[in-house]
């Protein structure tokens, strides 16, 4: 029962507030209606008194606190250093990843070049095979030289063995 009575009183207060918010009522009427609503909701003989206190803080100036300023500078410096360290770590991490990709690309290029080198060596071995050269020469109608067919520029014995000699190349004037 007591709760329903309190709810009823609160409803009266809310109704009084809605009525008091109308623009036609004066400030005194509004205060009187609030006082009456509070007096009805009050328990016991003690009256409640409310004072409106208007505080004007527009003229207040914040006092300078050098200790707080020093703390904020230290905090900003520590956070800047921490941010710098994190950015260096991130830069190194991404650089390592990028270098890893470059290493993998170069490994693939090396493997490709090794395969190409193997193919070229195989092709060279096939092209310089004496049997193949002999076979092509016979197809073109060439055969081994007969004795006396080979003429040496020094004019010596054609059957005599000759040692290979390296000489300086001669300049030919045209």
Find the farthest-apart pair of alpha carbons in the chain and give their distance in angstroms, rounded: 153
Q: Which pLDDT value is given to residue 20?
A: 45
Let me know the angle formed at the C-alpha of 47 by 43 and 50, rounded to the nearest 5 degrees.
115
State pTM to two decimals: 0.40
Of 6, 15, 17, nearest to 40 (Cα)? 6
| Tens digits of residue pLDDT in 86-122 | 999 999 999 999 999 999 999 999 999 999 999 999 9
Q: 79 near 71, Cβ under 8 Å?
A: no
* pLDDT at 169 > cutoff 90: no
**What's the CA gap between 81 and 87, in Å, rounded?**
10
| Tens digits of residue pLDDT in 30-79 | 888 888 887 777 766 666 677 888 888 888 888 889 999 999 999 999 99
> Mapping DSSP to helix (H, G, I), strand (E, B) and coil, where does residue 149 land?
coil
């Amino acid at each position: 029962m007591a709760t329903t009575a309190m709810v009823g009183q609160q409803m009266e207060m809310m109704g009084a507030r809605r009525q008091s918010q109308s623009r036609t009522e004066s400030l005194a009427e509004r205060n009187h209606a609030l006082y009456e609503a509070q007096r009805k909701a009050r328990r016991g003989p003690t009256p409640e008194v409310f004072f409106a206190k208007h505080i004007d803080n527009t003229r207040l100036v914040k006092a300078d606190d050098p200790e707080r300023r020093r703390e904020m500078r230290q905090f900003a410096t520590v956070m800047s250093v921490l941010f710098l360290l994190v950015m260096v770590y991130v830069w190194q991490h991404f650089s390592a990843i990028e270098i890893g990709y470059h290493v993998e690309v170069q490994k693939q290029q090396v493997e490709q070049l090794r395969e190409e080198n193997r193919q070229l060596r195989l092709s060279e071995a096939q092209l310089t095979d004496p049997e193949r050269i002999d076979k092509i020469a016979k197809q073109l109608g060439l055969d081994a030289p007969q004795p006396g067919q080979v003429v040496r520029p020094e004019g010596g014995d054609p059957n005599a063995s000759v040692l290979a000699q390296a000489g300086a190349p001669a300049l030919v004037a045209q």
